[in-house]
Amino acid sequence: MWHFKKFDELTTRELHSLYMERMKVFIVEQQSPFLDADENDLISTHIFKVVDGKVVANARIFETEEGAIHIGRILVREEYRGKGLSRELLDTALNYIDETYPEHVIEMNAEVYIKKLYASYGFREVAEPEIRSGIAHVWMKREPAAALALAE
């Protein structure tokens, strides 16, 4: 089941589960020491799927000071990878964004190895790749849903 919650709506157990999964993937698995929990968690909508009481997929969405919608902290629990859950997560998150913020550009700082997946959703690279916390990332943007609908 997919959940859509603002920070203050999360239970302490949900918040603990989200942080645990993010630390497992971004800090331990990717061996990338950085401060994962940040101020953006407080202003984000957290989208996550729970199976058998465990968070198996997660993303967070927030509006930037420039008025774009940022999607990040995208993850799928290791044992659920390769089963289409990444696409399910992106479909769910982008549908939410398109319905909630149809006039906004969507941006992300994507890991280079997975940029083709994001490109298949209409994201385009807008900067040269850079190394962040030891991993190659690239800034990508997607035009607003309203503009995409007009282009069709």
Q: Which domains does the chain have, with CATH numbers?
A: 2-151 (3.40.630.30)
Give Cβ neighbours of residue 1 (< 8 Å, ≥ 6 apart). Answer: 49, 50
* Percentage of the chain modeled with pLDDT above 70: 95
Residue 70 banded pLDDT, cuts 50, 70, 90: very high
Residue 135 banded pLDDT, cuts 50, 70, 90: confident
How many helices (H) does the chain have, and how many strands (E)? 5, 8
Q: Please give the Cα distance from 133 to 36 (Å, whole number).
A: 11
* Nearest CA-CA partner of 69 in 94, 38, 36: 94
Q: Above 70 in pLDDT, residue 147? A: no
Instruction: Give per-residue pLDDT as tens, 8-38.
Output: 999 999 999 999 999 999 888 888 777 789 9
Q: Above 60 in pLDDT, residue 52? A: yes
Average pLDDT over residues 120-125: 96
pLDDT-wise least confident of 18-22, 27-31, 70-74, 102-106: 27-31
Q: Above 90 in pLDDT, residue 150? A: no
**Range 113-120 contact pairs with CB under 8 angstroms and sequence separation of 24 or more:** 114/86, 115/140, 117/86, 117/87, 117/90, 118/90
Residue of higher predicted confidence among 132 and 14 = 14
pLDDT of residue 140: 97
The count of residues in the chain is 152
